[in-house]
Structure 1
Amino acid sequence: MRLALVAIIVASLADPALADTTSGAGFDVTSYDLALTPDMQNETVAGRETIRLRAIDDGLSQLIFSGNALTIDSATIDGVPASPTLKADSLTFDLPRPIARGRTVKLELAYHGHPARGFARSATALYTSYFACDWMICRQNDFGDKAAFSLALRVPVGTDTMSVGRMVSKRPGPDGSEIQRWKAPRPYSAYLYGFAVGRFVSVSETAGSAKLTYLSDVADTAELKHRFAPTREMVRFISDKAGVPLPVAEYRQLLVKGDEAQEAATYSVIGMDELPTKADDPDQDWAIVHELFHQWWGNLVTCASLTDFWLNEGVTTFMTAAWKEHRYGRAAYDAELDVARSRLEKVRAKGLDKPLAWDGHYPTLGTRRAIQYSEGALFMDHLRSTLGDAAFWSGLRRYTRAHAGGVVTSIDLERAMEAASGHDLRPLFAQWVFGETARP
């Protein structure tokens, strides 16, 4: 059986979160286990994957995943051959018979192909960026479905690899290859999966009990230390504000060419063009800290769906301003929020003002960002001004601690802020987050 699956290119390429094709699929993935052979030169991949899942609806009859451009070579459901089909931009497997809620299923796949998105390469390295479900079978936009993840990468001997969590084994493979297996420390949302292969210089230091490792195929150890020097202080600052230490035992940052700025579970990819060109310039200081913040808000505490995506990005955008206040002073904080305010005013001028938890269709990526990133940051600043620093930061710590490792909606943040401040925040959240008529 061979089936080429073509991803929707129009809206989803412009905005990875414009279309949510897998929400309400009726099942919860418990684990993704992959054995992958990436081809750096041709930017292709061949793999075998086992997906274990549990029905959360009675009468589940289909398994729906995000569509992509991979060719499925074989598929079985609990050992029975299955034929996937492409419906809109989703990859669908029909179950042999409907199953009851609570029943577990094992889907096994073999595939190969050239991912339409999600791969980037240099002369000596290949790394992934955001679109995990273009190089594996998964559910890209179902943020609330956190699953265990392991990845065995088959690469030429002497090749360095990086993925989620830590390398748990390395063994010889066929034809001069070796197999390096990585395992995530906890369940994560699928959009946070990733890997890199190549030849990397690396250097490490500690931040409290955590290890910080910097890698690159374009910089030496001296430059890595210089470029990522602020990371230790950033970790201390965020840990204090979150009330939770860095939630990974080792945090890696991969420095590459270009303008990349992308978080993944337990690591980030940062492009040289996104780093400050001169020291102590608050205008340029954002990429390292923004992606680092996501280890707490986005990765550890994750929005349940795209409706509450501002809890990932608005909180992190606000915290970037808070970091600038800490490092450079109040003027840098205000300047950062002025940037957010300017972006929001541009979409409002076009009649596109929406509440933060709006579940409608955003016409462009810029519009989504203006609302969920910029307006989200401005709302957090408004909460801070309304409640005062003591109650605000106490509420953020309460929110982060209570939901560490889990998924959240806007109501969870409201309740944490109300508990910390003693104020009824329903009118404020109704106005900013839900819309005036969204709640009684």
Structure 2
Amino acid sequence: MRHDRLIVFGAVALCLLMPIQTRAQEPDTWTDPYQPALLPGFVGDMDAYADAPRYTIDMVLNVTVTEATITGHQTVLYTNRTPQIPLDTIVFRLYPNLESYGGQMQVSNVTADGAPVTPKLDDTNTVLIIPLPATLEAGASVTLEMDFTTVIEVGEEHLYAQFSYLEGVLALPNAYPVLSVFEPGQGWWQVTDHPQGDAVYSETAFYLVDITAPADLILVASGSEIDMTTNGDGTLTHHYAAPLMRDFALMANSRYVTLTGEQDGVTVNLYYDPGVRRGTSAAQAGLQMALDAVRIYNTSFGPYPFSELDFVQTPTSAGGIEYPGLIVVTDDIWDASDPFFEFVIVHETAHQWWYSLVGNDQTRDPWIDESLAQFSVAVYVHDLEGEAGYEGSIEFYTSQYEDFIATYPDQKIGLPVIDYEDNAYFYMIYEKGPLFYAELAETYGYAQVITMLQDYFAAYRYEIAEPGDLLESFETSLGEDLDVLFEEWVGEMPVG
């Protein structure tokens, strides 16, 4: 990708988701079902997160000409991992009920350790508060079960159409009740405003998901499909394992075909509709871009631990959207001659490191993942084109940011999404944000910034990072105080 092409796609970026089969036998250890979804060198990572949430979900997907419906049952083993804070409630998020998603979700038959409980919904119907029959002490676990139904009607298109049923394509991220995050000192995360950007904030967890769907549908989901059962009624049951992933997404279309490659042991799949725009030729070019991005980010930041990474063509109105182990790319740019096509693939691939593996509150601190994903595009260009390409990328970000603040107020990059009005979110997070990392590179050297990012990734992989964590990690790597620089660019940092 020539750095001058970044100018084109950066401008476009402003335009910016039956029968239940019983497994034959109980595995020898709890980690066995998940192992195929991890590269061999990372199977041992699961033991360190044995107390992370474990979802077991059975879904049945029914599709008609007017709507798609998921009926499901899920069991969640939840361990109180707080620092000595007893819990009387546990909160799940029903994201399809957000206005920005445009779906409908209902939950029923909720139990805690087998005892029926009566949950409470907030006024938005997106926060489900489950009272526990007994206080859950730190280190103790509870098993929660619930039934749920999720519906999306054909043609519903809200915000980025991330949750939709359009042109025969099903985009169903977070189509199940998702555990919220408990933050010491603040309680359960319950943000419901979603004017733009990303809506989900969740912990690394383990997923075993069975999805029964019409046999003609090609399903693409987070994690890896480890088995498939043929039923006698025209359906298939797909068995997925998704260990150490932050949430679970599902896409489906009867017209998808697949192009596959491999990089550093990771199977990279592109699912596309050959009848949409330049389907096959774009997929062939896009696969190489994806393989290059995985190689470059593995080397620059740290290894991608999962055995699979999927790219899926959908009618999203965003250029692309990231999910753990799964990236969607819009139909509108599915053309290798469109430079935004490459940008989206590269930017969203970076989110597998920044958001999926190293998590953050995307509503409160969008700069932590989005600005870093933007800078990662410049890292990609640096690897392919050298210093000149990297400088061209940074110059473009600079010109876009300076043009914006010539007319509109400048703001810090460390604000919540709701504090940016209209296009300010894009220009502060996506154009000014990467310049923060460029400033570090200008001051301390590009190689030093790469080392800092490697240390940060190693320290917070599978974890949740806050602004103070990023500051502390960078200061430790560099051996210098960065308080002044962070306050200048990000804003006031937490004390302690």
The interval holding the TM-score normalised by the smaller chain is 0.7 to 0.9
In structure 1, C-alpha distance between the alignment counterparts of 2:423 and 2:52, rounded to whole Å? 31
Q: Give 1:298-317 correspondences, 5 Å limit.
A: 298-303=355-360, 306-317=363-374
Instruction: Report the 3-state secondary structure (helix = DSSP H, G, I; strand = E; otherwise coil) of the residue aligned with 1:229.
Output: helix
- Is 1:127 aligned to residue 171 of structure 2? yes
C-alpha contact (below 8 Å) 1:202/1:221 kept by paired residues: no
Q: 1:163 is matched with which residue: 208, 218, 221?
A: 221
- Cα 1:347–1:187 change in 2 (3 A) is farther
Does residue 208 of structure 1 match 2:264? yes
Amino acid aligned to 2:257: V
Residue correspondence of structure 1 range 238-387 to structure 2 within 5 A: 238-242=297-301, 244-257=302-315, 259-260=317-318, 261-275=320-334, 278=337, 281=339, 285-303=342-360, 306-327=363-384, 330=388, 333-335=391-393, 338-339=396-397, 342-343=400-401, 346=404, 350-351=408-409, 353-356=411-414, 358=415, 361-362=418-419, 364=421, 366-387=423-444
Please give the per-residue CA displacement for 1:124-156, whole angstroms capped at 9, x wherever unaligned. Answer: 431235xx1x54344386736221122211012
- How far the C-alpha of 1:166 sits from its partner, in A, is 0.8
Select between 201-210 and 325-334 the one with higher mean Cα deviation. 325-334
- Cα gap change, 1:373/1:221 in structure 2, threshold over 3 Å: closer, same or farther? closer
Superposition deviation, residue 277 in structure 1: 5.5
Q: TM-score, normalised by structure 1?
A: 0.80
* 2:118 corresponds to 1:83: yes
Cα pair 1:161 1:198 within 8 Å, conserved:
yes
Query: Closer, same or farther in 2 for the Cα pair 1:259/1:321, shift >3 Å?
Result: farther
2:423 pairs with 1:400 = no
Contact 1:52 1:107 in 2 (8 A): yes
1:147 and 1:384 map into 2 onto residues whose CA distance is 34
Q: CA deviation at 1:195?
A: 0.9
8 Å Cα contact 1:76-1:109 kept in structure 2 = yes
Change (3 A) 1:367 1:105: farther
- 8 Å CA contact retained: 1:259, 1:274: no
Q: Distance in 1 between matches of 2:430 and 2:261?
A: 31
User: Relative contact order, CA 8 A, sep 6+: which one is greater?
Assistant: 2
Shift of residue 361, structure 1, vs aligned partner: 4.5
* SS at structure 2 position matched to 1:302: coil
Q: Point out where structure 1 has 5 or more consecutive residues left out of the alignment.
A: 1-14, 17-27
Find out whether 1:105 has 2:134 as its counterpart: no
Partner Cα distance (1:427, 1:267) in 2: 37
User: In the TM superposition, what is the alpha-carbon distance from 1:179 to its structure 2 partner?
Assistant: 1.0
Structure 1 segments of 4 or more deviating over 6 A? Answer: none
| Partners of 2:121 and 2:385 in 1: CA distance | 52
Residue in structure 1 matched with residue 47 of structure 2 by the alignment: none
Conserved 8 A contact 2:62-2:68: yes
Output the CA distance in 2 between the equivalents of 1:365 and 1:249: 38
Say yes or no: does 1:66 pair with 2:89. Answer: no
1:31 is the counterpart of 2:54? yes
Q: Does 1:198 align with 2:253?
A: yes
Secondary structure in 2 aligned to 1:102?
A: coil
The alignment status of 1:413 with 2:454, answered yes or no, reads no
Secondary structure in structure 2 of the residue aligned to 1:70: strand
The separation in 1 between residues aligned to 2:467 and 2:179, in whole angstroms, is: 26
Q: Which runs of 5+ in 2 are unaligned?
A: 1-15, 18-50, 98-103, 182-198
Q: Secondary structure at the match of 2:372?
A: helix
Matched-pair contact (CA < 8 Å) for 1:337–1:377: no
Question: Does structure 1 residue 49 correspond to structure 2 residue 60?
Answer: no
Report SS of the residue matched to 2:357: coil
CA drift at 1:164: 1.4
Question: Displacement of 1:48 after TM fit?
Answer: 0.9
How many angstroms apart in 2 are the aligned matches of 1:345 and 1:221?
37
Q: Residues 135-192 of structure 1, C-alpha deviation per residue, up to 9 Å, x if partnerless?
A: 43443867362211222110123432221111122123463322111111x32223xx
**Larger deviation, residues 66-75 vs 375-384:** 66-75
* Bigger mean CA offset, 403-412 vs 175-184: 403-412
Change (3 A) 1:75 1:127: same
**Superposed CA offset, 1:87-127 (max 9, x none):** 23321222234333332111111121425875333444312
Determine if contact 1:214/1:253 at 8 Å carries over to the other structure. Answer: yes
C-alpha deviation, 1:218, in angstroms = 3.9
In the superposition, relative to structure 1, how do residues 340 and 270 fare at CA in structure 2: closer, same or farther (>3 Å)? farther
Contact kept, 8 Å, 1:344 with 1:371, in 2: the verdict is no
Shift of 1:268: 0.8
Distance (whole Å) between structure 1 residues aligned to residue 307 and residue 438 of structure 2: 31
> Partner amino acid for 2:130?
F
Aligned to 1:25: none
Check 1:113–1:423 CA distance in 2 against 1; reply closer, same or farther (3 A cut). Answer: closer
Question: Aligned pairs, how many?
Answer: 404
Contact 2:148 2:176 in 1 (8 A): no
How far off its partner does 1:38 sit?
A: 2.1
**CA distance, structure 2, for counterparts of residue 251 and residue 142 of structure 1:** 20
Change over 3 Å in CA distance of 1:207–1:411 after alignment to 2: same
Q: 1:258 to 1:417 in 2, by over 3 A?
A: closer
